[in-house]
Structure 1
Amino acid sequence: MVRGPRHVAAVGRLFGETRLHTSAPAALTWPVALTRSAAQPAIEVGTFRRWTMLAATTLAQAASAVAVHGPAFLIPALVARSGLSLTEAGLVAAAPVLGTMLTLVAWGAVVDRRGERLVLLVGLAGTALASLVGTLASGTTSLAAALFLAGAAAASANAASGRVIVGWFPPERRGLAMGIRQMAQPVGVGVAAVSMAVVADAHGVTAALWVPTAAAALAVALVAVVVLDPPRPPRRQQPADSPYRRDRYLPRIHGVSMLLVVPQFVVWTYALVWLVAERGWSPGAAGVLVALTQVAGALGRIGVGQLSDVVGSRMRPLRWVAFAAVGAMAALGITAHLGWGVAVVVLVVASTITVADNGLAFTAVAERAGPFWSGRALGLQNTGQFLVAACVPPVAGLVATHAGYAAAFGLAAAFAAAALPLVPVREERELT
């Protein structure tokens, strides 16, 4: 929603840094890939407040990742303590992922109509409440239902947190800011891995759900204190038709991202298994290496985001990442097939490269879709990625079983190669 001068002045008194420029009575402008004239007023916030909002939305996204991906680390306890089969435990752990996938677009639509702050507060509060209900679950069905609802609520952070960043950061800083925000997923997964699994082993599955409950509650508190809705122009100043009807730019980015999910999840899913089964590593040592690759991948997202700011383009770096993913996965397939020790080093490189595209595509979608469509566009972006990600483990596992891990790595390189001609470099507008 558009904030008025009184609201902005109140915030300014609180933080001492918000400014309202009103050189003309024209409407507020949305700072997303739009040329802002000197005659248009614009709400601006100080550097400290802007980065504080980035921290809050990054925490919100990390809390979402804990709620959605954390239950996967409960599988051993579900099998050992609850007597479930591995398949049954896997279905319970998949419940929050299903809830997220089914509600991403709906949450995006609410963001487009009601604003980012409201969606973050309601969604994160719902995540905390559903996770709390999970701590009281007495059976497998009630636990799965609570996890589903937690995932459905946690999906709110995906579109809303990205929109806050795109709305408040200028184009020349958005890539870096979104790269930092994209660190939230691996950080959240890492937090869940080192906390939920340990608590579940010591005190039970339901006790472990206090981790996502606390993470979501903390995120709600921080969002309530620091996050503001970015300014938007009046709807009459924006095109009335869908951005999907104007050109093929957004569908092409969705397609590129879906194809590049394949190498990312092949490596994420089977790196540890390959190190143990093919390279003879202990599970502990393999787990440490995989954790380090998560850190490297998070830093890579920041680096690529900063690169996009420097070159003034999201699509050129995205194509470079796709090229690098093809080379890295092909090299991994070849070295793994030949049994060379350097394959482990190539694995680390591939793990870093294959996650680097996420922030670039996410930022580009929000910039092109505009203030009244980007919520739904980001929801579609994530939904497509979730659908592909759900298919990758079983298909790649089938290939690895019958043709070997090297073949699975090589097949992932082919998907990355298919993404190259789809990257809409020529259709991209210069960042303004």
Structure 2
Amino acid sequence: MLAASTLAQAAAAVMMHGPAFLIPTLHEQGGLSLARAGLVAAAPTIGVMLTLVAWGWVTDRRGERFVLLVGLSATVAFGVAAALTGGLALLVVTLFLAGAAAASTNAASGRVVVGWFPPERRGLAMGIRQMAQPVGVGVAAISIAVIASAHGVHAALWVPTVACALAAVLVAAVVVDPPRPERRAGTAVVNPYRQDSYLARIHGVSVLLVVPQFLVWSFALVWLVTDRDWSPAAAGAIVAVAQVAGALGRIGAGHLSDVVGARMRPLRWVALAAAATMALLGLTAALDLAVAVLLVVVATLVTVADNGLAFTAVAERSGPFWSGRALGVQNTAQFLAASAVPPLAGLAIGQWGYAAAFALGALFPLVAVPLIPVREERALS
């Protein structure tokens, strides 16, 4: 179950985030500005953002296996359309639809893990599942930029399409819906958002923490290629290494939360580390120091470590009959911010440069620290 849900999320991540690695080709060979190229990269994340809650609602009612199979199959269909279509407008539309379909994996694959693992092992298991996102981005980094540079944007889009097709086959062979308690007739399911502000605060914190994450994801490769004169292959390799480090960071953060018996305290530690790392990255990039490349790897590791902690906490607090929608709201909020980062960061980089943009990214986790609901967290269950 863990392997299948992780692969499904990783394949979807290649589709959602892979277009960010088309930016160098769109900018240098296609003649698009960084802001317009960033808009292309944001198209699938906008599609994800608009459909996450709907997919969560379907998951609450039809189950995880159904949603994964339907969503991945639709992602493959739209991926094929994106790879075969011509023109910038059609590319944006098909990537938007592919992202909308790929959104199915976010809540469904997470619920597979939450449903099949007990609380004392759930943080580690969700950390493994959450490593799917940086692994998917790493796969995209070492493949999409190189293929796009050599063979064009549309050829590179076969990478996420094939990945989602393979994931759909594994899901069909393996995934079974986890057991859930029966809902008693006439008993209303309590809306967890009406009980307290715990979930809302986690959503807000996650929005703030996703800004430096997507800033680094979207522009680390472009910075290495255009600002430091690296080849796309070498830059892609560094980004891939950084994503592997980020995947391991998520596992470590999840295991740490199991050990300390809490999700919010480790989340606060991660936010503080993210603020410090982004500030150092901005400073070293401004001074053109070689250590800035190492700090890109560290920043990638730190800025993704929070996702599994927040995701697990939301699922645990919202319960089996609301977790699909709550996880949909969680991811919608994150992708709303993520969709805005590439074009806005592109504008900031065009005005002030990469170093200033990286330094500005440190402000968001710093604001998040006092908002993390550490005292409101309940014992794990």
Distance 2:175 2:216 in 1: 35
Percent identity of paired positions between Structure 1 and Structure 2: 70
Residue 132, structure 1, aligned to residue 89, structure 2: no
Match of 2:301 among 337, 352, 355: 352
For residue 234 of structure 1, what is the aligned residue in structure 2? 182
Change (3 A) 1:198 1:411: closer
Deviation digits for residues 270-316 of structure 1, max 9, x if unmatched? 43454566666566544433322111111111111111111111111
1:123 aligned residue: 71
Compute the displacement of 1:72 (Å). 3.7
Tell me the TM-score normalised to structure 2 length: 0.88
Partner of 2:360: 411
Between the aligned partners of 1:322 and 1:303, the Cα distance in structure 2 is 15
- What count of residue pairs does the alignment treat as equivalent? 379
Counterpart-to-counterpart distance in 2, 1:65 and 1:186: 8
Shift of 1:360: 0.5
Q: Which has the higher contact order (CA 8 A, sep 6+)?
A: 2
Greater displacement, 155-164 / 393-402: 393-402
Distance 1:426 1:76, change over 3 A: closer
Q: Aligned residue for 1:374?
A: 323
Instruction: State the match for 2:211 in structure 1.
Output: 262
Question: For structure 2, which runs of at least 5 residues remain unmatched after alignment?
Answer: none
Number of the residue aligned with 1:99: 47
Residue range with higher mean Cα deviation, 291-300 or 409-418:
409-418
User: Which one of the candidate residues 364, 384, 387 is aligned to 2:313?
Assistant: 364
Q: Which of 139, 148, 173 is equivalent to 1:225?
A: 173
Quote the residue 1:383 is aligned against: 332
- Segment drifting more, 177-186 vs 247-256: 177-186
1:254-293 equivalence runs, <5 A: 254-275=203-224, 285-293=234-242
Q: Does 1:327 align with 2:279?
A: no
Residue of structure 1 equivalent to 2:253: 304
**Structure with max Cα Rg:** 1
1:159 alignment partner in structure 2: 107
> Structure 2 CA distance, aligned partners of 1:410 and 1:173?
36
Which string of whole-angstrom CA distances, capped at 9 and with x for unpartnered residues, describes residues 166-186 of structure 1?
A: 010111111111111112122
Contact 2:311 2:330 in 1 (8 A): yes
Deviation string 1:40-67 (CA, Å, 9 cap, x unpaired) is: xxxxxxxxxxxxx111111111111122
1:66 equivalent among 3, 14, 17: 14
The answer to whether structure 1 residue 172 and structure 2 residue 120 are counterparts is yes
Alignment match, 2:141:
193
2:46–2:336 contact (8 Å) kept in structure 1: no
Aligned to 1:50: none
Q: Secondary structure at the match of 1:230?
A: coil
Deviation string 1:298-345 (CA, Å, 9 cap, x unpaired) is 111111111111111111111111121222223333444455544444
Residue 410 and residue 244 in structure 1: after superposition, are their counterparts in 2 closer, same or farther (change >3 A)?
Answer: same
Report what 1:56 is aligned to: 4
**After the TM superposition, which of the residue ranges 323-332 and 146-155 deviates more from structure 2?**
323-332
Query: Runs of 5+ in structure 1 lacking a partner?
Result: 1-52
SS at match of 2:360: helix
| Matched residue type, 2:95 | L
Distance change >3 Å, CA 266–CA 298, structure 1 → 2: same
Alpha carbons of structure 1 residues 337 and 363: separation in structure 2 relative to 1, 3 Å: same
Structure 2: how far apart are the matches of 1:280 and 1:153?
Answer: 36
Separation in structure 1 between the aligned mates of residue 233 and residue 161 of structure 2, nearest angstrom: 28
CA contact (8 A) 2:137 2:243 kept: no
TM-score (norm 1): 0.79
Q: Distance in 2 between the 1:319 and 1:404 partners?
A: 29
